[in-house]
Amino acid sequence: MARQASELFEEFKELTASEFFRRNKQMLGFSGKIRSLTMVFHELITNSLDATEEAGILPEITIDLKRVDKDHYILKHRDNGPGIPEDFITKVFCTMFAGSKFRNIQSRGQQGIGCSGCVLLSQMTTGKPAKIVSGYKENGELKGVEMTFKMDVKKNQGLILEKRPVEVESTGVHIELHFKDVSYSLSEQGAYEYIRRTMIANPHAKITFRDPTGHKYILDRATEEIPPLPKEVLPHPRGVTADDLIFMAKHTDRRRFRSLLTTSLSRMSNKKVDEVEEITGIDLNKRPKDMKWEEAEKIVETFSSMDFMAPPTSGLIPIGKNQVEKGMREILNPEFAAANTRKPTTYRGGVSFIIEAGISYGGESGRIVGDQKRAEIMRFANRVPLTFDQGSCAITEALKSIDWKRYGIRDLDNAPITVFVNIVSTNVPYLSTGKQSIAPEPEILHEVRQATMKIARSLQKYIRAKKAAKEEELRSKIFETYVPVILKEAAILAGKDVPEYDHILSKVTRRPKIVGENNVE
């Protein structure tokens, strides 16, 4: 029986973003008990690190995870950041797609889902509200507010249950969330490993973590240097589409399209604008609203044929090769460590990025699997560990495409090495809302390979030298063991005294004289 359209559309409705993600929480990365808890840690730590750095404060985070029952935990997360003003608390924690990181800037969080996702998960698994104490400065004055709230899932906004001013000693956020159906684990995907890896990439942070057994880990900072703040970067002419120009034109208050270009794009001088005008024949003095799509297309096409300076890279703050090496040595205690930070480059024509790589060998490098150690890959984006979806990540793809045999690693499944890769960008091309793997842009794959192969060569030299030294030692040992015996017996046969030989022996073995029984002294 053919049904009419009008009947079918009776059930038509619109969901809010929060309703949508409530039905599809796996898209936030909350799939599975271990992964869900690790993702919560990820979102809250990320938020705290970003907030403290933006405010120019050395980050100090305190995390307390208490196990109430099987799969039931209370998480208390505290930071020393600038805090959240009272009016914004529910926006940060109860509204999907809200945030301040939609500018073109290198930041850990990028989508405005994170913190709200944690509150949603807490609520869905326990029904309990979230509790927060926020200390913040307003007009130089220190204020404090304590709030208990829930997310109104239907409306994608907060529902304040209780609110009162409180005395606080300093600025910062202290949030308390209950969770069920999550699991704390010491495995590679677990929350503890996440903290450990965060420390390698953020040596200026201090994290105190009390785990469910009551054990307190103090991961102290290795440097007092706050990394410089990444600057907002204007989009590069090579990185904009016609749609971007029309969108900018629609929402600008600039009077002329020409000044929209010079103020909204990097490397765009009035001289360059003249050049564009000459090539396209379009009058760029006109009002932005009068710019037509076909004209915007022509302009973008012209951009791609013109020469521009590379995008400014002051916006990008890598960890730095010394810091990476320092971090690896601190946490992994290796025999060998080397790191490499590449020069900035771009993908898709105009988005800047930098790749950093590090390799450590021996010590606590690698991950124990059964009775051997396999190579461990640690991936980071803007200093944030990417724990999951390793298989689909561009970094993994690039690393696996390297011919490790050439560098002395016969089999990655049996090699005591840790490979560290960090990508830094204003716009990290994640593959999905879970933000755990990176899209295989060709330039990114290339840079990861180059960065890693360079330090792999250093590793190869080290392994060779180590092997040669071993052989040298073996050879020396043979001499030291047998020469004295031979001389002694020869001397007996010749009826002579055993001659002095230490100095000759040590010349041959290149080892110092051994003062001992054979030394004629």
Query: Rounded to whole angstroms, how far apart are CA atoms 361 and 367?
Result: 12
Q: Between residues 102 and 482, which has the closer beta carbon with respect to its own copies?
A: 102
Q: Between residues 64 and 443, which has the closer beta carbon with respect to its own copies?
A: 443
Q: CB within 8 A of 279, min separation 6: which ones?
A: 302, 305, 306
Of the residues 389, 416, 449, 518, which one makes contact with its own copies according to CB under 8 A: 389
Under the binding rule (CB under 8 A), the answer on residue 439 touching its own copies is yes
CA angle 173, 174, 180 (to 5 degrees): 130
Full DSSP string of 288-325: GGG--HHHHHHHHHHHHHS--PPPP-TT-----HHHHH
Q: Which of residues 233-262 bind its own copies (CB under 8 A)?
A: 241-243, 246-247, 251
Q: Between residues 353 and 361, which has the closer beta carbon with respect to its own copies?
A: 353
Of the residues 6, 213, 305, 481, which one makes contact with its own copies according to CB under 8 A: 6
Q: Which of residues 322-381 bind its own copies (CB under 8 A)?
A: none
Q: How would you class 56 by CB atoms within 10 Å of its CB: exposed for 0-12, middle for 13-18, buried for 19 or more?
A: exposed
Q: 520 near 500, Cβ under 8 Å?
A: yes
Calculate the alpha carbon distances from 149 to 94, 329, 514 in Å: 9, 43, 76
Under the binding rule (CB under 8 A), the answer on residue 69 touching its own copies is no
Which amino acid, one-letter code, is at 471? E
Q: Which of residues 85-144 bind its own copies (CB under 8 A)?
A: 85, 88, 91, 95, 97-100, 102-103, 111-112, 123-128, 136-140
Q: Between residues 62 and 90, which has the closer beta carbon with respect to its own copies?
A: 90
Under the binding rule (CB under 8 A), the answer on residue 302 touching its own copies is no
Of the residues 214, 391, 512, 516, which one makes contact with its own copies according to CB under 8 A: 391
Minimum separation from the CB atom of position 324 to its own copies (A): 27
Query: Rounded to whole angstroms, how far apart are CA atoms 308 and 206?
Result: 41
Minimum separation from the CB atom of position 358 to its own copies (A): 27
Under the binding rule (CB under 8 A), the answer on residue 83 touching its own copies is yes
Under the binding rule (CB under 8 A), the answer on residue 293 touching its own copies is yes
Under the binding rule (CB under 8 A), the answer on residue 57 touching its own copies is yes
Under the binding rule (CB under 8 A), the answer on residue 8 touching its own copies is yes
CA angle 195, 316, 47 (to 5 degrees): 35
Under the binding rule (CB under 8 A), the answer on residue 300 touching its own copies is no
Of the residues 302, 433, 458, 506, which one makes contact with its own copies according to CB under 8 A: 433
Minimum separation from the CB atom of position 379 to its own copies (A): 16
Closest CA to 435 of 59, 30, 21: 30
Minimum separation from the CB atom of position 83 to its own copies (A): 5
Q: Between residues 244 and 502, which has the closer beta carbon with respect to its own copies?
A: 244
Q: CB within 8 A of 1, min separation 6: which ones?
A: none
Under the binding rule (CB under 8 A), the answer on residue 225 touching its own copies is no
Minimum separation from the CB atom of position 293 to its own copies (A): 3
Which amino acid, one-letter code, is at 472? E
Minimum separation from the CB atom of position 264 to its own copies (A): 16
Q: Between residues 223 and 390, which has the closer beta carbon with respect to its own copies?
A: 390
Q: 78 near 206, Cβ under 8 Å?
A: no
Q: Using the structure block, give the residue that is written with the tokens 């002095």.
A: 500
Per-residue contact track with its own copies, 167 to 186, x per CB under 8 A?
A: ----x---------------
Q: CB within 8 A of 345, min separation 6: which ones?
A: 310, 352, 353, 354, 443, 447
Minimum separation from the CB atom of position 445 to its own copies (A): 14
Paired residues of 61 in beta bridges:
79, 207
Q: Between residues 2 and 520, which has the closer beta carbon with respect to its own copies?
A: 2
Query: Rounded to whole angstroms, how far apart are CA atoms 108 and 110?
Result: 6
Q: Hey, is 103 helix, strand or coil? A: coil
Q: Between residues 387 and 509, which has the closer beta carbon with respect to its own copies?
A: 387
Q: 266 near 312, Cβ under 8 Å?
A: yes
Length, in residues, of the chain: 521
Minimum separation from the CB atom of position 108 to its own copies (A): 15
Under the binding rule (CB under 8 A), the answer on residue 4 touching its own copies is yes
Under the binding rule (CB under 8 A), the answer on residue 443 touching its own copies is no
User: What sections of 206-292 are H helices per DSSP?
Assistant: 242-250, 257-264, 270-280
